[in-house]
Each structure stands twice: as C-alpha cells, then as structure tokens.
Amino acid sequence: MDISAPLRLRVDRDALVANWQALDRLSGRAACGAAVKANGYGLGATLVAETLADAGCRDFFVASWAEALALAPLGLSLCVLHGLRQEDMAAAKAGVARPALSTPEQIARWRESGGGACDVMVDTGMNRLGVSVDAVAEGLLDGLEIDTLLSHLACADEDVPMNARQLAAFAGLKGRTTARRMSLANSAGIGLGEDYHFDLTRPGLALYGGVPRPDMAAHLRQVARPEAQILQRRQVPAGETVGYNATWTAPVETQVAIVNLGYADGYRRALSGLGVALLEGESLPVIGRVSMDLTAIDVSARPDLAEGDWLAMDYDLAQASTLSGVSQYELLTGLGQRFGRG
C-alpha cells in the first residue's frame, strides 16, 4: 500500500539549474561542480545530481563512501571529501569515486594498493581535514596520480585577511604536484573573485538557494519549499491559548489551521511565532510553539482554507536564518525524512 505523505518538499529544478548556471558564470574560466553531500543538502542527492548532470555539471562532491555508493548508478565523476579509511578501500578500488586523500596514512594506503587517480585535500589554515602545505612542498605527493588538488576556505563568507592568506598558501602549490586541476572555492569563495576560482569551484549552499554573501543574492533563486496539509481547522475564542506552554493567546477570536509539519521535519522550533505560510502573496503567521510534528497557522484571512488543503511555508533561507538564528545550512540539511520529495 502506498500512502501519500501529508507533507512534501517542493524542489524547484529550474531554480536549481539556474543557480548552477549562475555560479558557473560567476566561476569565470573555472568549471563549476556541485557539493551534493548530506543527501544534496536535504533535497535528495539523486534528484539534485541527476538534474545538474543534465544541465552540464561534471564534478560532484560527497562526504562519505556511503553517499558515493548511493550515487554510483548515475555514473558521475565523484569525489569523496572525507578521504579513505581502510573500510573504504573496496569501494575506492571498485572505482565508485576518487578519494580526497587527506593524511599521510591515507596516501600510503593508496600507494600500497596500487594507486590510480585520486584527489588530495591540503590544509591551508582551517585545521580541519588535509595534509599540510609544508608536507606537500617536501614531496609527500610526489609520484601520486592526482586529478584535483583541493583546499577549503574557513571564512569565505566574511571579508577577513584569512582568505588572502589561504589563497596565497594554496596558490604557492601551483606546479608543485602532478595535479591536473586545483580547486579552492565553495559557494562563498566564488564570490571572492577570480583569484579564488582556480580550475574548479565546488558550491553547495548557493545551488540550493542559500545566500553565502549578500552580494550574491541577486544571482540566486529559492529552490526548496516545504508544504504541509491542513489536518484540522478550528476557531479559537479570544483569551484561549494555542500549543505547548500556551505561548500564544488569541487577542480576538481567531481561525487556526493545524498543519502536518514540525521540528522533527526540520521546520525549526526557532521559527515559533516567527515563520509564515505563503498563499497567493498573502502571509499567514505561525502562532505559538512549533511542535515536533504540528504547527499552527493563523488563517483568519482565508475562510476558504479547509481540512485537506495544502499550505506552503515561506522558506527564504537568508530571511528564515536571520529570523530564527539558525544557519542556512542547518535549515536545509535538517529537512527530514518524512517529506515526499520532488
């Protein structure tokens, strides 16, 4: 039996493609790839990768080998950003993806297994994953067949001196390895300008409608919209309260729709009393606490709405992030498993 879910995530494929095309243009001469880790930032990795591959995207980045295996049927060029554990060897040797080797141990493991095309992550100051610039200068990568040499920016969404320092450290490795390509910029890094683009950029957030730097907003469109079905419409008399801890009291008699969406679906509790549903340009406010599975909306302005109707939540990421204090990344990747997606 197939039961349709009472909540769905609308993924605007045209907007996704338009965002990739915009980021590709902004990347200048560099190719533009796509970070599709964390299930395509919550939108569905297969849907996203298929859509972008059709649009001409050629390089895809995931975090883990499990994520790479899930995309293997698509036959894409994949890079696993989190390197190569012993446990990953079989998948790597089967050619599912290229590992982004990030420690001397991983490099030794790859060489011992016979090597082949790989990527390498270099740490230029973030102190997260990657081999040191000094180790590369001293020959750690000599003889390795490197497709792409990667590094990652810690603060590309800010204008701080660290960006230029990381850029200089990475640029200093040009010509030092056999790497066919170099790649530094995430979404925000694309906005830092041409010097940061190298041969390949790897945006994630901006593909999905997140705005990493205000100056990029004009190029990007919203991609993800959560929608939920109304389970009950009720009339709340003046003076009565709605929801957990009775945080909202009806100032006047109010028409309330209870929709099938809550923080377990990624519609964050921080949007309590702040979020809105959007209907034909009209904003319908969220009232009271967002519950785990339910949210109350003031629908007094819309007598036509009834049990079974659908409401689309406003999910402009930059705006929702400012309102809720939750990062745009978390607003996307937290979108839950209960949505019908598409």
Ligand X SMILES: *Cc1c(COP(=O)(O)O)cnc(C)c1O
Find out whether 292 is annotated in a ligand binding site.
yes
Residue 186 engages ligand X in binding (rule: CB under 6 A): yes
Q: Which stretch binds ligand X (CB under 6 A): 134-142, 183-191, 299-307, 313-321?
A: 183-191
Longest Cα–Cα distance in the chain: 76
Q: How far is the CB of 184 from ligand X (least distance, A)?
A: 9
Region from 161-169, 181-189, 229-237, 298-306 binding ligand X, contact rule CB under 6 A? 181-189
Task: Give alpha helix (H) positions in the chain.
Answer: 13-26, 37-41, 45-55, 65-71, 89-93, 104-112, 133-137, 161-171, 187-190, 317-324, 328-333
Among 8, 202, 289, 341, binds ligand X (CB under 6 A): 202
Q: List b or e across 217-253, with b for residues whose CB sees 16 or more CB atoms inside 10 angstroms.
A: eebbebbbbbbbbbeebeebeeeeebbeeeebebeee
Active-site residue, from 37, 41, 267, 315: 37
Determine if 203 is a binding residue for ligand X (CB under 6 A): yes
Q: Under the criterion CB under 6 A, does residue 313 sit at the interface with ligand X?
A: no
Q: Is 121 flagged in the annotation as binding?
A: no
Classify residue 327 as exposed, middle or buried by CB count within 10 Å of its CB (0-12, 13-18, 19+). Answer: middle
The Cα–Cα gap between 275 and 301 comes to: 16
Q: How far is CA 323 from CA 22, 61, 300, 316, in A?
A: 27, 30, 23, 10
- The answer to whether 174 is a known catalytic residue is no
The one catalytic residue in 208, 244, 263, 329 is 244
201 is a site residue for ligand X (CB under 6 A): no
- 35 interacts with ligand X by CB under 6 A: yes
Minimum CB separation from ligand X for residue 179, in Å? Answer: 16
Distance CA 323, CA 174 (A): 43
244 is an active site residue: yes
Q: Does 152 bind ligand X (CB under 6 A)?
A: yes
In the complex, minimum distance from the CB of residue 151 to ligand X, in angstroms, rounded to a whole number: 8
Q: What type of residue sits at position 238?
A: A
State the Rg of the chain over Cα. 23
Query: Which residue in 42, 204, 266, 288 binds ligand X (CB under 6 A)?
Result: 204
Catalytic residue numbers read 37, 244
Mark the binding-site residues for substrate, compressed into ranges: 128, 292
Residues forming the site for ligand X (CB under 6 A): 35, 37, 81, 152, 186-188, 202-205
